[in-house]
Structure 1
Amino acid sequence: PLERLMEPGSIGSLRTKNRIIKTAAGTGYADKDGRGTERMADFYGAIANGGAGLVIVENCAVEWPRGTHVVPTGFRLHHESYVPGHALVTAAVHKHDCPVFVQLMHAGPWLAMLPGMGPQERITASTIAEEDMPPSVWDWVPGHELTVPEIHDVVGIFAHSAELAKEAGYDGVEINASFYHLVNCFLSRFWNRRNDEYGPQTIENRTRFYCDIIREVKRRCGNDFAIAANINAREFGLANGTTLEEAKAMAPYIEAAGADILQVRASSYGPYLEMLFPETVLYPETPNLDLSDLDISRGGPGMYLNMSAAVKQMVSIPVFCAGRLTPELGDEALREGKLDFVGMTRRLIADHELPNKVAAGRADEIRPCCGCCYCVETRMDDGPQSCRVNPESGKEREYQITPAVKKKRVMIAGGGPAAMEAARVAALRGHEVTIYDKAAELGGLLPIAAVVKDHERESLVGLIRYYKGEFAKLGVKVELGRGVDAELTGKVKPDVLIIATGGKNAIPRIPGLDNRKVIDSTSLHRKLKLALRVFGPEWLGRLTKIYMPVGKNVVVMGGGVQGCQLAEFLVKRGRSVTIAETGEVLGEGLPYLTPVRLLNWFRDQGGVALAGVTYERITDQGLEITTAEGERKTLQADSIILALPLEPDPAAAKTLQSAAPEVYQIGDVKEFGYMHGAFADGAKVGHAI
């Protein structure tokens, strides 16, 4: 049992049932005007019902439009009219005996520009010339340097938003002074070039703006209204950025101003890209960058523990951090005195019930988060947050488990993600479910993906383990090595047949496909599945670093997620690789920032990636193509591997269309989709029958 993690905690006068904090992260569940909604309330209510000790609701702009980073659905709390929407959220969380904060922020120079807004709307500590702006994925432009009276006005804006938060029922606020937000501009020596009492000449001056906000919130809302502080312990990749020693020196000032708890974060620029998600920093391989102060021993999880421990030594208030922390790692950090609370977000999105399962000694039943950042990817175009492995996240009301009106015998053909999720949901609703799959192992293509996806291997294998555990608990029968045909359906006589046998491998129509150099997806999958029966994904991944029946020079046909990750796999095993993609975009299907990191690394390793090509023919020399520029050339290769997206396979389902009173096709057999689409399909059908 993870006793320290489940131990009650204190934040000021507030008590928590355990040490798990759901950290703030945007959901996109606000309405078009940035108000709270029932969907948002359902989501945060479900997190609270799952046993979290504290819920911190997503970043919320204290000023509109000047203070927002996300438009148009950026959450806001700048006016009295927004209180009812927030009250929906607080009521949903409080219903489950869980305290709730909201994160208040002002985007400052990180402002998302709206039509008609001028540069003066970007406010900051100091105006910095455009040519001096730091390298980043964000579009920085010079902002308006706040005058001292304007600084006082912004302090009042924050305090007013905190008053509205208290009126809405929040137990406290987290004031965001990390990443690239306005308050951080005063803490950072790069962004702050002032020569007054708010300048960077002393730590006291640099923290003055932040401390003024904290003190004013306490003055207006009372000492019992909790305040969580949130700072960068270091700004990586930024000349004159905040250092860990400076962050340690700032912490006592922030505590003295009235903060009740402190979250430690880090921001990043240039080649560091996005450090909010620590595993991405080390992908595809550990970069040749200054990673001092970080703990990279676990490949990402716990990366910020060393910095948090260092800051914790400077204050008496509780300290916490997030960053892929598992329950086990969080408990260990608590026992070792590195943290007082454990921050989580993506793991709680993947399984809202994680805290309750830990408390009940059922940690083995937790649905694992893959760390794929699909939840972040869905937010990039201001869409609502979705989870790749948990289709119910954000659809808690729609996908509430309700007992089936009539218990049915459900037969599922296939054992991949769509099939497994359909089986789980149908069984939860009371149906009698049996999975039939001609493969020897459950999971469809997941075991193969686990071999190729080095950084996701553990969680993909964990997903299969999770479903096996669920099936054992729910009584789902699994018949492996047995496909579904008319004879079997005639014998079983199912009420419902779900066809989830997967798509078929796409084959380009060009001469030379029968060349001995060609390795098509079907034969590759067959060989890997055979090897997996003996070794398993982890050992097979290791053995392929010693031997693979693949030539030294490889051309990968296909530059989507399948081709790019296969290319990464091959390069790590000493192959020289060229990617040839017919579409205009490389890396389609790869989640947030992965294409940038992966393709930059791939080219640094000597790989060649070509988009917009036309496949002409395969010869003994290699793959002949016409480039996007119209040049005819041959890509020399010892091996040519087809890694194209799957195609729907209607023929596989045609003979079974009338095999049961209800027949459903889900997953790639019906329409090609990625892993998230397969899980979503399974959930939808499981709830429908």
Structure 2
Amino acid sequence: MQHQALFTPVELGGVTLKNRIVFPPLTRQRSAQPGDIASDLMSVYYCQRASAGFMVSEGTQIEPRGQGYAWTPGIYTQAQIEGWRKVTDAVHAEHGVIFAQLWHVGRISHHGLQPDGAAPVAPSAIQATNAKAFIETGVGTGELVAPSMPRALTVAEIKELVALYARAASNAIEAGFDGVEIHAANGYLINQFISEHANQRDDEYGGSLHNRLRFLREVVEAVVAVVGPDRLGVRFTPLFTSTDQDRVYIGLVEQDPHETYIEAIKVLEASGIAYVSIAEADWDNAPDLPESFRRDVRDTFSGRIIYAGRYTAERGARLVEAGLADLVAFGRPFIANPDLPARIVNGWPLNPLNPSSLYGGTAAGFTDYPTYAG
């Protein structure tokens, strides 16, 4: 057995996972239209990868205003719930465990995606830069566009959004998911509230770090009330360096990312949730997270810790062996290798990824990657 640390069982909430390999949330833009409904093709895709110890669905918007990319699935209508039920049934038939990622993009959207062509919503009326939304320009065709100028949410609207997260969590359980993950990463809505760059409010949701974490705190508490702490995780992207000027990446680098995210993780610890997922910078030659940050995450949080970000099996196993991670996520390799755990444990070669088929399209580059034939 190769990389044995990745193949020991581990408890997550009230579930025993068969290995420590995670199939993470990966936007693929293949929902059925109209209605942004999880499709039969998506059921095949997730089922193919159910040998992961743990799976998280692609980001699924909690309401129509939460969409920033055409053809991504939602979880706010009955048809969407029923579509996801086909996915979860397929995964469970293969003895997989899958959480739904609850997503709201906030300002990373375009008026062409918003109800009645309205402005996107955000903590403050600050337009996102170095980011793109994706709009449909015809049947099966679309283009990347600059996000529209957002409008600032009122306090009453923020409270309504907290309730929408809770409703989406309830919908996810109805759809058969084993739990939910709150998407608080990559410059999307919750990350916008946390960030000193995107949040310039002067009320209880802005200013101090404590206030900027209030929305996260309220969403976590509301979702815990619906699903329980054992069935909840949260994802962050604690970037410690600025991105390249020509790179389209929507993470936000705080003046003190260490303090910002350790304080955010304290919010999670106080609620007793099952896990925190840390998505690292994933571009070529991206710097590693500081070792001091990894140690403080472990010291601060008593639940499970997941890391993601261009990990090899060897590097992931070392992180587990060091006690700094409990599970490791593999994104691109899992897209191209539906049987990734078997390939890792046996040392089998990996299929190459076809980058041109990542977003939108048909079964090509989605469900047609072969398993290992020997």
The answer to whether TM tops 0.5 is yes
Residue 66 of structure 2 aligns to a residue whose secondary structure is coil
Shift of 1:338: 2.2
Residue deviations 1:294-333, cap 9 Å, x none?
A: 32xxxxxxx6877544423321111111112122211111
For residues 255 and 326 of structure 2, the distance between their equivalents in structure 1, rounded to whole angstroms, comes to: 27
Determine the C-alpha separation between the residues in 2 that align with 1:59 and 1:358: 26
Question: Structure 1 115/56 Cα, relative in aligned 2: closer, same or farther at 3 Å?
Answer: closer
Count of residue pairs brought into register by the alignment: 351
- Per the alignment, residue 314 of structure 1 pairs with 300
Q: SS of the residue aligned with 1:234?
A: coil
State the SS of the aligned residue for 1:58.
strand
Structure 2 distance, partners of 1:369, 1:115, is 33
C-alpha separation between the residues in 1 aligned to 2:26 and 2:363? Answer: 10
Maintained 8 Å contact 1:309/1:339: no
SS in 2 for 1:233: coil
Mapped partners of 1:115, 1:57: distance in 2: 21
- Distance in 2 (alpha carbons) for counterparts of 1:205 and 1:14: 34
1:217 aligns with 2:217: no
Contact preservation (8 Å) 1:39, 1:395 = no
Residue 314 and residue 200 in structure 1: after superposition, are their counterparts in 2 closer, same or farther (change >3 A)? farther
Q: Are 1:366 and 2:349 counterparts?
A: yes
Deviation at 1:116, TM superposition (A): 7.7
Rounded Cα–Cα distance in structure 1 between residues aligned with 2:256 and 2:363: 31
Aligned to 1:38: 40
Matches of 1:349 and 1:312, distance apart in 2? 29
CA RMSD after TM alignment: 2.6
Deviations 1:561-616 (A, max 9, x none): xxxxxxxxxxxxxxxxxxxxxxxxxxxxxxxxxxxxxxxxxxxxxxxxxxxxxxxx
Which residue number in structure 1 is paired with residue 150 of structure 2? Answer: 143
Decide which of 276, 283, 290 is 1:278's aligned counterpart.
283
1:346 equivalent among 332, 341, 345: 332
Between 1 and 2, higher relative CO (CA 8 Å, sep ≥ 6) is seen in 2
Cα separation, partners in 2 of 1:127 and 1:116, compared to 1, 3 Å: closer
Contact (CA 8 Å) 1:172, 1:227: kept in 2 or not? yes
Q: Which residue of 1 aligns with 2:105?
A: 107
Alignment partners' CA distance in 1, 2:325 and 2:113: 44
**d(CA) in 2 for partners of 1:31 and 1:242?**
42
The offset of 1:379, in angstroms, is 4.2
Task: Return the alpha-carbon distance in structure 2 between the equivalents of residues 258 and 147 of structure 1.
Answer: 29
**Aligned residue number for residue 70 of structure 1:** 69
Distance 2:338 2:271 in 1: 34
1:231 has 2:210 as partner: no
Identity of aligned residues (%): 25
Q: Report the alpha carbon displacement of residue 358 of structure 1 after superposing the two structures with TM.
A: 3.6
For the Cα contact (< 8 Å) 1:187–1:242, is it kept in 2?
Answer: no
Distance in 1 between residues matched to 2:81 and 2:116, nearest whole Å = 29
Match of 1:383 among 340, 346, 361: 361
Q: Name the CA distance, whole Å, in 2 between partners of 1:161 and 1:332.
A: 36
Asked if structure 1 preserves the Cα contact closer than 8 Å seen for 2:221 and 2:271, the reply is yes
- Please give the alpha-carbon distance, in whole angstroms, between the structure 1 residues aligned to 2:229 and 2:262: 24
TM-superposed CA distance for 1:258, in Å, is 3.9
SS at match of 1:109: coil
Work out whether 1:395 is the aligned partner of 2:374: no
Structure 1 residue 191 corresponds to structure 2 residue 198 = yes
Q: Secondary structure at the match of 1:108?
A: coil
AA of the residue aligned to 1:44: Y
Check conservation: 1:61, 1:105, Cα contact below 8 A.
Answer: yes
| Equivalent residue letter for 2:44 | D
Q: Secondary structure at the match of 2:324?
A: coil
**Which of 1 and 2 has greater Rg?**
1
**2:7 equivalent in structure 1:** 6
Give the partner amino acid of 1:215.
Answer: E
CA distance in 2, matches of 1:264, 1:22: 14
- Cα deviation for residue 221 of structure 1 reads 2.5
The residue matched to 1:319 in structure 2 has which SS? strand
Question: Per-residue CA shift, 1:629-648, capped at 9, x if unaligned?
Answer: xxxxxxxxxxxxxxxxxxxx
Tell me which residue corresponds to 1:91. 89
Contact preservation (8 Å) 1:228, 1:263: yes
TM-score normalised by L of structure 2 = 0.85
Structure 1 unaligned residues grouped into runs of 5+:
267-274, 283-290, 296-302, 388-392, 402-423, 429-469, 471-689
Unaligned runs of 5+ in 2: 134-145, 243-251
Which residue identity is paired with 1:230?
R
Contact 2:181 2:234 in 1 (8 A): yes
* Paired letter, 2:111: M
Equivalent of 1:160 in 160, 167, 182: 167
- Structure 1 CA distance for aligned equivalents of residues 340 and 290 of structure 2: 22
Q: Distance in 1 between matches of 2:17 and 2:116?
A: 44
Deviation at 1:57, TM superposition (A): 1.0
Task: Report the CA distance between 1:28 and its aligned residue.
Answer: 2.5
